Amino acid sequence: MEEEIFQGLKVLDFSWAIAGPWTVKYLADHGATVIHVETVHHPDIIRAGPPFKDDKPGVDSSIYWVNYHCNKYGLSLNMSHPRAREIIKKLVSWADVIVENFSPGVMQRWGVSYEEVREIKPDIIMLSSSQLGQTGPLATMRGTGIQLTAYTGFNRLTGWEDREPSVLYGGFTDCPAARFGATVLIAGLLYRRRTGKGMYIDLSQYEAGLHLLAPVLMDYQVNGRIAMRRGNRHQYAAPHGVYPSRGDDSWCAITVSTDEQWKALCRAMGDPAWSKESRFSTFPNRKDNEDELDRLISEWTVTLTPKEAMFKLQEAGVPAGVVQKGEDLYNDPQLKQFGYFWEVDHPVIGKHRLESHAFNLSKTPRKLRMPAPRLGEHTEYVCCQVLKLTDEEFVDLLADGVFE
Amino acid sequence: MDEERVGFLAPYRVLDLTDEKGLLCAKTLADLGADVIKIEPPGGCSSRKIGPFYKDIPQPEKSLFWFAYNANKRGITLNVECEDGREIFKKLVTTADIVIESFPPGSMKTRGLGYDDLCRIKPDIILTSITPFGQDGPYKNFQASDLVCWSMGGFAYLTGDSDRPPVQVSFPQAYLAGANEATTATMVALYHREISGEGQHVDVSIQASVAKNMMNAPFFWEAAGVNVRRAGPFRIGLSIATGQKVIWKCKDGEISFFFWGGKSGARTNRALTEYMEEDGTAPTSMKEMEWETFDMASATEELFKEFNHHMGKFFQAHTKKELFQRAMKENMTLYPVQTTADITADTQLQERDYWEEVEHSELEERLLYPNPPFFLSEELRVQKRRAPLIGEHNEEVYRGELGISREEMIKLQELGAI
């Protein structure tokens, strides 16, 4: 078998919900050995997240959870048990990296703070990813990515000016948090290779999200302008929007940023008489008459399916794309070619196509080695094979309820 | 460079050929200490035309978009469309570890700068290509925009009011998702190179990056034949059937709040009920609810309607600040929908030294920039510098590093190469 990138890298994974598991996913899918720790007393909320196999909730039947935990070993460990310490010490000695995304204070309560793990393993790298960071007056505020997306300013910028803002599906801030998290973690590993030094990384998901809004934050600072949502309106493009197409709730996105693209759009529509009117002849004119422009374009798009509109416009050289639904993504020949979805065969769920990554490496592709673990699936394997407990030690701890 | 580099990525050099689709990628590497050289065509990168602008003056040296996503980089102008320019680029590649580009698929190859060509010059080079749809496949040559990628990636369908067309975020997020994913992808490849000595081509799809942001939404199709659909201020995907109101109007803006069942939601639900009782607006159904055992799945729609009615009125009688201060005191999961003004004033960021003042000598001004989103020890923090002016480091790089003579530089300038 070919070597994988992170082969031999040992990750102790306390992550839950989305941001933490997504961070670890980059390592797990490229060969790291990951031990994921959870307890039957408080299963990860995502294990209760839909969809489920046959729509029946169950701790091992959430497709949502399985998506983020492939290629990992699952260890069940009651961190609050007085004897959990015996296992934690061995796990920390084993690990190169610890990842966690609990509220600040939880790891300390369990005796797994950076100060404590560093005593056991001086060059360990520990990443704590939390909503608002480990310090500051709001550090211990509870919440999820859904509320953090509001706090980070994304909701204010999403939807229609005459209505209340829209939700961004899932927890939008989890996405940059995971990407920045994995980036700094790997950068830290390279630094450790060079210097032998471990480190603690305190990542704020709020601060990660704000990087995706940096220019509008500067706009307020310099120009005093408070950014606002405006549907699909765009400063430099008209027409620019999502247009109704033939079929149930079907839409096609169109962007026209240059006069050439405008001419191409007119050609694709069959050069209707209205398109020659002076009120649409230049970008400023189109911008001034945008509502009317959108209405007239819609009269044309509504006669076509979104796919027909897309192909017709692309052929003419106009940026256009189907507003794809879940079904469309699974059938998209482009995503298929890219290998975006990969099929996982899970003992409870069966076969299901899950998300992999949005990049392909030419020489060391990602690999699906095993499906996500059932809760506690590898407890015995981890204890006896990895941590080298004797059978007697394992059974003793098991009887004591340490592995619940 | 004359000064000693610090940071995790101090030993590495990155050549950044990208436009708005990829600027954030190398920016993040620069924040981690990499020596990033932004290569612009003579006259400047097209992304300098993207606003907002400093004092609303639409000039290439005043784009706040450019400022934000090119800080900590050096900048040179180089025309890779001409032979002389390409020769210089190749010289630079021999000094580099990573090249990042966002041209249409195949354009680098056509110029003789494809991955195989670069390998001949620098066998262990990493080439990261960021494109709307990836390097291969039936849509690879499609014309795209941020909105097109957002739509084809599936996020548009999930976003906006249910009775209106799907929308994008008004500060577009598809390209940024792609660039963000590209940074991680590049780091994965760099780690591999450190272990094995082998470079490779990293092919990033913006469309797939957007799809990844959808989390569990696509799975409802394969599991249950359901296309999850936008629902405005309501939260969807919690279960297949129901939506839950998340965004609420208050006196001076909006807040984000939703019910959570069982023990984990009890504290917040009880605290809100008590808060409403003080105003005399809590309905009996809330006052008498046993929140510890409140089960979201079995609660009726009528009950939620009643809650929503009373909560809606209650929130509208209070300001964002009042509500959030109470939330902080009681550790309730209620957050304001912040504006850019609110964020700028947020003490949480100030206490964590998130903002850093950076000198803009050309504007005779100092501007605040966000620091990296992770807190690192002093010795690892990279001193911030503003984004480069057009060709600002030509002299430093061409003469100082590549040893090109002044006469040669003049000649290259006349040829339109630099």
Residue A129 neighbours by CB distance under 10 Å: 30
One-letter amino acid for residue A77 of the chain? L
Domain with CATH 3.30.1540.10 in chain A: 240-323
Closest CA in chain A for residue B185: A359
Q: How far is CA B178 from CA B131, B173, B369, in A?
A: 8, 9, 22
Q: What ipTM was reported for this prediction?
A: 0.98
Q: In terms of pLDDT, which residue wins out, B163 or B295?
A: B163
Residues of A in contact with B144 (CB under 8 A): 319, 321
pLDDT digits (tens, 9 = 90+) for A278-315: 999 999 999 999 999 999 999 999 999 999 999 999 99
The shortest C-alpha distance from B412 to chain A (Å) reads 32
Which pLDDT does position B239 carry in this prediction? 54
Chain-chain contact of B376 with A201 (C-beta, under 8 angstroms): yes
Residues of B in contact with A358 (CB under 8 A): 178, 181, 185, 204-206, 208-209, 211-212
Closest CA in chain A for residue B254: A164
Chain-chain contact of A334 with B140 (C-beta, under 8 angstroms): yes
Residues of A in contact with B36 (CB under 8 A): none
Chain-chain contact of A330 with B218 (C-beta, under 8 angstroms): yes
Q: What is the SS3 string spanning chain B?
A: CCCCCCCCCCCCEEEECCCCCCHHHHHHHHHCCCEEEEEECCCCCHHHHCCCEHHHCCCHHHEHHHHHHHCCCEEEECCCCCHHHHHHHHHHHHCCCEEEECCCCCHHHHCCCCHHHHHHHCCCCEEEEEECCCCCCCCCCCCCCHHHHHHHCCCHHHCCCCCCCCCCECCCCHHHHHHHHHHHHHHHHHHHHHHHCCCCEEEEEHHHHHHHCCCCCCHHHHHHCCCCCCCCCEECCCCCCCCEECEEEECCEEEECCCCCHHHHHHHHHHHHHHHHHHCCCCHHHHCCCHHHCCCCCCCHHHHHHHHHHHHHHHHCCCHHHHHHHHHHHCCCCEECCCHHHHHHCHHHHHCCCEEEEEEHHHCEEEEEECCCEECCHHHCCCCCCCCCCCCCHHHHHHHHCCCCHHHHHHHHHCCCC
Which CATH number fits the domain B246-344, given the four candidates 3.40.50.300, 3.10.129.10, 3.30.1540.10, 3.40.50.2000?
3.30.1540.10
How far is residue A383's CA from residue A391's CA, in Å, rounded to a whole number? 9
Q: Give the rounded percent of residues in chain B with a pLDDT score beyond 70.
A: 98
Residue B378 pLDDT > 90: no
Residues of A in contact with B238 (CB under 8 A): 50
Residues of B in contact with A3 (CB under 8 A): 196
Chain-chain contact of B344 with A255 (C-beta, under 8 angstroms): no
Residues of B in contact with A137 (CB under 8 A): 328, 347-348, 351
Residue B120 pLDDT > 50: yes
Nearest-by-Cβ selection for A51 from B156, B223, B255: B223
Q: How far is CA A232 from CA A159, A227, A270, B156, B164, in A?
A: 8, 14, 25, 10, 11
Nearest-by-Cβ selection for B247 from A133, A167, A333: A167
Which pLDDT does position B1 carry in this prediction? 44
The shortest C-alpha distance from A168 to chain B (Å) reads 6
Q: Where are the domains of chain B?
A: 13-213+352-414, 246-344
Joined together, the tokens standing for residue A293 give 């422009």
Domain with CATH 3.40.50.10540 in chain A: 10-212+336-399
Chain-chain contact of B344 with A220 (C-beta, under 8 angstroms): yes
* Single pTM value for the model: 0.97
Residue B89 neighbours by CB distance under 10 Å: 23
Which pLDDT does position A400 carry in this prediction? 97
The shortest C-alpha distance from A156 to chain B (Å) reads 6
- Are B230 and B162 in contact by the 8 Å Cβ rule? The answer is yes
With the CA atoms of A330, A336, A342 and A344 taken in that order, what torsion angle do they form, in degrees rounded to the nearest 10? 60
Q: What is the SS3 string spanning A174-194?
A: HHHHHHHHHHHHHHHHHHHHH
Chain-chain contact of B257 with A167 (C-beta, under 8 angstroms): no
Residues 6+ apart with CB under 8 A from A380: A394
The shortest C-alpha distance from A133 to chain B (Å) reads 8
The shortest C-alpha distance from A377 to chain B (Å) reads 23
The reply to whether CATH 3.40.50.10540 applies to domain B13-213+352-414 is: yes
Which pLDDT does position B244 carry in this prediction? 85
Q: How far is CA B7 from CA A130, A222, B81, B188, B320, in A?
A: 22, 29, 34, 18, 39
Which CATH number fits the domain A10-212+336-399, given the four candidates 3.40.50.10540, 3.40.190.10, 1.10.3470.10, 3.20.20.70?
3.40.50.10540
A202 has which bridge partners?
A128, B375
Nearest-by-Cβ selection for B211 from A329, A352, A363: A329
pLDDT digits (tens, 9 = 90+) for B25-45: 999 999 999 999 999 999 999
Nearest-by-Cβ selection for B347 from A137, A159, A201: A137
How far is residue A105's CA from residue A139's CA, in Å, rounded to a whole number? 9
pLDDT digits (tens, 9 = 90+) for B311-330: 999 999 999 999 999 999 99
The shortest C-alpha distance from A371 to chain B (Å) reads 16
The answer to whether the peptide bond before residue A21 is cis (omega within 30 degrees of 0) is: no
Q: Is A169 exposed, middle or buried (0-12, 13-18, 19+ CB in 10 A)?
A: buried
Which pLDDT does position B3 carry in this prediction? 53
Nearest-by-Cβ selection for B211 from A321, A335, A363: A335
pLDDT digits (tens, 9 = 90+) for B127-166: 999 999 999 999 999 999 999 999 999 999 999 999 999 9
**Number of inter-chain CB pairs under 8 A, A vs B:** 506
Which pLDDT does position A3 carry in this prediction? 81
Chain-chain contact of A26 with B328 (C-beta, under 8 angstroms): no
User: Do the domains B246-344 and B13-213+352-414 match in fold?
Assistant: no
The shortest C-alpha distance from A277 to chain B (Å) reads 26
Which pLDDT does position B240 carry in this prediction? 44
Catalytic residue numbers of A read 174
* Residue found under tokens 């630099």: B418
Chain-chain contact of A144 with B333 (C-beta, under 8 angstroms): yes
> In angstroms, what is the C-alpha Rg of chain A?
26
pLDDT digits (tens, 9 = 90+) for B207-265: 999 999 999 999 999 999 999 999 999 987 655 456 789 999 999 999 999 888 878 78
| Average pLDDT, 10 consecutive residues per value, chain A (404 residues) | 86 98 98 97 91 94 97 97 96 98 96 97 98 96 94 98 95 97 98 96 98 98 98 96 98 97 98 97 97 98 98 98 98 98 97 98 96 98 97 97 96
Residues of B in contact with A67 (CB under 8 A): 215-216, 219
Nearest to B338 by CA among A158, A171, A181: A158
How far is residue B238's CA from residue A358's CA, in Å, rounded to a whole number? 25
Overall fold of domain A240-323: formyl-coa transferase, domain 3 (3.30.1540)
Chain-chain contact of B368 with A194 (C-beta, under 8 angstroms): no
The answer to whether the peptide bond before residue B52 is cis (omega within 30 degrees of 0) is: yes
Residues of B in contact with A244 (CB under 8 A): 165
Which pLDDT does position B2 carry in this prediction? 41
Nearest-by-Cβ selection for A155 from B194, B256, B380: B256
Chain-chain contact of B170 with A228 (C-beta, under 8 angstroms): yes
Q: How far is CA B134 from CA A320, A359, B138, B258, B273, in A?
A: 16, 8, 10, 38, 51
Grade residue B379 by pLDDT with cuts at 50, 70 and 90: confident
Nearest-by-Cβ selection for A166 from B145, B153, B232: B232
How far from chain centre, in Å, is Cα B15?
20
How far is residue B308's CA from residue B44's CA, in Å, rounded to a whole number? 53
Chain-chain contact of A361 with B133 (C-beta, under 8 angstroms): no
Phi-psi sector, A129: left (phi>0), alpha (psi -120 to 50), beta: beta
Chain-chain contact of A220 with B341 (C-beta, under 8 angstroms): yes
Three-state secondary structure call for residue A155: helix
Sign of the CA dihedral running A98, A99, A104, A106: negative
